[in-house]
Amino acid sequence: DAGVTQSPTHLIKTRGQQVTLRCSPKSGHDTVSWYQQALGQGPQFIFQYYEEEERQRGNFPDRFSGHQFPNYSSELNVNALLLGDSALYLCASTHRSGSGRFGEQFFGPGTRLTVL
């Protein structure tokens, strides 16, 4: 089992550009969440996808958008990049049972985004 995988590992962009980050959930998982971890800070929840829809969103502007595909993988898109978007972006996956309960969340290694 490969666990949660993310690509790319590192990325350098300039202000104003757009970026797409990718996440493949752990086998058997159907729910993906994205987090932003600024240097020296704890992860901040961006949003969660389940059944290809955004189900919950944190306090992030509309420049942050996402998508979930039928195979449960997910993308995080950030438009009009700002210097402050430089961070480690973490993807986490879990499985939602038939009763609606979620299992343990597993995190990927993250994508380090640097905006110059």
Cα distances from 84 to residues 1, 32, 39, 57, 115, in angstroms, run 35, 24, 11, 19, 8
- Ranges within 87-106 binding another protein (CB under 8 A): 90, 92, 94, 100, 102, 104-106
**Which one of residues 4, 76, 81, 115 is an interface residue with another protein (CB under 8 A)?**
4
Angle at CA of residue 59, ends 115 and 56, nearest 5°? 115
User: Torsion over CA of 86, 6, 73 and 52, rounded to 10 degrees?
Assistant: -20
- Applying CB under 8 A, does 115 fall inside the site for another protein? no
Binding mask of the shown chain, residues 17 to 46, with x at each position contacting another protein by CB under 8 A:
--------------x-x-x----xxxxxx-
Q: Which residues bind another protein (CB under 8 A)?
A: 4, 31, 33, 35, 40-45, 48, 50, 55-56, 58, 90, 92, 94, 100, 102, 104-110
